[in-house]
Amino acid sequence: MTVLALMSGTSLDGMDLVVARLEPDGPRVRAAVIERASVPYPTELRARLVAALVEGAADVRELTQLHAEIGLAYAEACGDLTDRHPVDLVALSGQNVYHVPRVDEQRGWRTRATLQLGEASFVLERCRVPIACDFRQSDVAAGGQGAPLVSFGDLVLHQRAGTARALHNIGGIANLTWLPPVFEPASVIAFDTGPGNCLIDEAVARTSAAEFDDDGRLAAAGSVDGVLLAALMRHPFLTLPFPKTTGREVFALAQLEQDLDVRFDHLAAVDLVATLTAFTAASVAHAYDQVRRGRPLDEVLLAGGGAANPTLVSMIRARLDVPVRTFEELGMASKDREALAFGVMAYLGFHGRAGTLPSATGARRAVIAGKYLWPDPFSHWSSDGASA
> According to the model, what pLDDT value does residue 377 have?
64
Q: Which residue from 277, 304, 283, 282 is spatially nearest to 216, judged by alpha carbons?
A: 277
> According to the model, what pLDDT value does residue 11 have?
79
Q: Which residue from 90, 279, 312 is spatially nearest to 193, judged by alpha carbons?
A: 279
> According to the model, what pLDDT value does residue 388 have?
43
CA pair distance 70, 92, nearest whole angstrom: 11
Q: Which segments of the chain have a pLDDT < 70? A: 377-388
Q: Tell me, yes or no, if the pTM score tops 0.75.
A: yes
> Backbone phi, then psi, for 19, in 5-degree steps?
-105, 125
Q: Where are the domains of the chain?
A: 2-373
Contact 333, 36 (CB under 8 A): yes
The number of C-alpha atoms within 13 Å of 155 and in the hemisphere containing its C-beta is 23
CATH numeric code, 2-373:
3.30.420.40
| Three-class secondary structure assignment of the chain | CEEEEEECCCCCCEEEEEEEEEEEECCEEEEEEEEEEEEECCHHHHHHHHHHCCCCCCCHHHHHHHHHHHHHHHHHHHHHHHCCCCCCEEEECCEEEEEECCCEHHHCECCCEEEEECCCHHHHHHHCCCEEECCCHHHHHCCCCCCCCHHHHHHHHHCCCCCCEEEEEECCEEEEEEECCCCCHHHCEEEEEEECCHHHHHHHHHHCCCCCCHHHHHHHHCCCCHHHHHHHCCCHHHHCCCCCCCCCCCCCHHHHHHHHCCCCCCCCHHHHHHHHHHHHHHHHHHHHHHHCCCCCCCEEEEECHHHHCHHHHHHHHHHCCCCEEEHHHHCCCCCHHHHHHHHHHHHHHHCCCCCCCHHHHCCCCCCCCCEEECCCCCCCECCCCCEC
